[in-house]
Amino acid sequence: MFPTHRPRRLRRTEALRRMVTETTIAPHQLVLPMFVKEGAAEPVPIGSMPGVVQHTRDSLRKAAHEAVEAGVGGLMLFGIPITKDAVGSGGIDPDGVLNVALRDLRSDLGDATVLMSDVCLDEFTDHGHCGVLAPDGTVDNDATLRRYGELAVAQAEAGAHLLGPSGMMDGQVGAVRSALDAAGHRDVAVLAYAAKYASAFYGPFREAVESSLEGDRRTYQQDPANVREALREARLDLDEGADLVMVKPAMSYLDVVRAVAEISDVPVAAYQISGEYAMVEAAAEKGWLDRRRAVLETLTSIRRAGADIVLTYWATEVAGWLRTG
């Protein structure tokens, strides 16, 4: 008895496989996160993220250019200030590192790419939390919202097209939206970190931004065990006017990406975070994985789960592969 149904028929040649592929990745769907360090004379390699650096103002401009040339969809900027304080003043200062870098890139690139920035305090606070602290040491939600409004306006004024409030404060999307509107920035869009989990995979990022955090973020970021809560967060962000919603991290949360994609009527992004990058790089360095195949497989899985857009530290390189084959 020979089987009648032979799915292998469609796998026989490269051309057949290509014709029936369901999930594709295009350069414009990839967003490159970038770090810029105040006062750096040279780009500083990040040990736990081989190939990723803390940029100087100049090297950032050059790398941004290369990314745009390669066709990536956008850039997401993070700043590393020299001095930090309890309320993250460096983020709001128009001469702060992140705002200066946004101004540089907007003047270099205009509207040729989508310039995005992280609306959060953790890079700018001496205690490393994503918000300001109440006298008892807990993160004060509503006082933080006011700071996020100020951060957002500063970043919009510096030239960002799209702002990513990432601190998981309740009401952050609404607060950022109304601060932007009140300051006349009605056209600046908000990428809501709708579902952001308290993940061990942020480890390398903490090195990348020289985080001073002791303890963890479990009173504001989500419990990795919960998916219903992610849907609630996403719905709230949509109600508050989110223009896009994001799930973060990506790979350990593909079911969450899928669930959010099913309820969202705006585009869905997923952030392939520092630890996801580091895992593949480390294994590849040891010769344990075929690096290029592994990278493409991770991105394909995130797209297959339902993400329209993927933030990935491999964005420029992968965009190059996709163009040249």
Ranges within 236-275 binding ligand PBG (CB under 6 A): 273-274
> By C-alpha distance, which of 239, 317, 276, 268 is closest to 69?
317
Number of helices and strands in the chain (H, E): 12, 10
Q: Decide: is 104 part of the binding site for ligand PBG (CB under 6 A).
A: no
> Which residue in the set 122, 233, 237, 281 belongs to the binding site for ligand PBG (CB under 6 A)?
122
> Which residue in the set 104, 118, 233, 281 belongs to the binding site for ligand PBG (CB under 6 A)?
118
Is 248 known to be catalytic?
yes
* Least Å from the CB of residue 204 to ligand PBG: 6
Q: Decide: is 120 part of the binding site for ligand PBG (CB under 6 A).
A: yes
Q: Which residue has the tokens 């270099």?
A: 108
Quick note: the x/- pattern for ligand PBG over 175-214, rule CB under 6 A, is ---------------------------x--x---------
Angle between helices 141-158 and 97-109 (to 10 degrees): 30
Comparing CB distances to ligand PBG, the nearer of 38 and 118 is 118
Structural tokens at position 300 = 């394909």
Non-local CB neighbours of 160 within 8 Å, separated by 6+ positions: 77, 102, 106, 115, 116, 117, 188
Quick note: the x/- pattern for ligand PBG over 147-176, rule CB under 6 A, is -------------------x----------
Exposure b/e, 129-139, CB count within 10 A at least 16 = b: bbbbbeeeeeb
Q: Decide: is 220 part of the binding site for ligand PBG (CB under 6 A).
A: no
Q: Rounded CA gap, 261 and 247, in Å?
A: 10
Binding site for ligand PBG (CB under 6 A): 118, 120, 122, 130, 166, 202, 205, 217, 273-274
Residues marked as catalytic: 196, 248
